[in-house]
Amino acid sequence: MRGASLRRLFFLLFLLCFTTVKVLPAGLTMSPSRSQFFRGDSVSLSCEEDNISTGWTVRRNTTKGTRTQCGNEWGKLAGLTCTISILFIGDTGVYWCESSEGAASSSIQLTVSGKIRLWS
Ligand SMILES: *[C@@H]1O[C@H](CO)[C@@H](O)[C@H](O)[C@H]1NC(C)=O
Ligand SMILES: *[C@@H]1O[C@H](CO)[C@@H](O)[C@H](O)[C@H]1NC(C)=O
C-alpha cells in the first residue's frame, strides 16, 4: 500500500520534471491562443524563458515593417508581455521573441480578418 503510493508520487514528480524541461526553451505564447483574429480584438504575446537576464523582446514582421519591436511602433510592453489592445488588418504578420543577443524563438503567424466579430 505505502510502497505503491510512494511509487505513484515519484512517478508524478518525474512527469512534472519532464513537463518543466519541455517548457524550458524560450518561446512565444499567445493569449487567447488562436491564429485567426478579428479587427478590434485584443491579444497578449508573452516571451516564456528560463533566464530573465537575457532580455527578451517581442518582434514582428508585417507588411508595414520587419523586425519591429513591441513598445516602439506597436503594442504596449509590460515586463515580458506585449499587448495589442486593438488589432487592425495591418497587424497581420509573423511574431517571435528575440533576446538581446539575437537568439530567436519559433514564430507564430497571426492573421487579422477585416470582418468585425458579431458575437463575443
Ligand atoms: C543566463 O544569462 C546569463 C547572462 O546572459 C548567461 O551568462 C547564462 O549562461 C544564462 N543561463 C542560461 C541557463 O541560459
Ligand atoms: C523577418 O523579415 C526579415 C527581413 O525580411 C527576415 O530576414 C526574417 O527571417 C523574418 N523573420 C521571420 C520570423 O519571418
Q: pLDDT tens digits for the chain (120 residues)?
A: 567 788 888 777 776 665 544 444 468 899 998 878 999 999 999 987 655 555 788 999 999 999 999 998 899 988 778 999 999 999 999 999 988 888 888 899 999 998 766 665
Closest listed ligand to the CA of 104: 2
Give the Cα separation of 110 and 79 in Å (integer). Answer: 21
pLDDT at 22: 41
In DSSP terms, 30 is beta-bridged to: 45
Counting atoms of ligand 2 from 1, which one is nearest the CA of 66? 2
Residue 99 CA to ligand 1 center (angstroms) comes to 11
Q: Where are the alpha helices (DSSP H) in the chain?
A: 2-23
pLDDT at 19: 52
pTM of the model: 0.69
pLDDT at 100: 81
Give the Cα separation of 51 and 74 in Å (integer). Answer: 25
Grid cell for residue 23: 517548457
pLDDT at 11: 77
pLDDT at 58: 92
Out of 28, 57, 60, 66, mutate this one to test ligand 2's pocket (max ligand atoms within 8 Å of CB): namely 66
Residue 34 contacts by C-beta under 8 Å, 6 or more apart in sequence? none
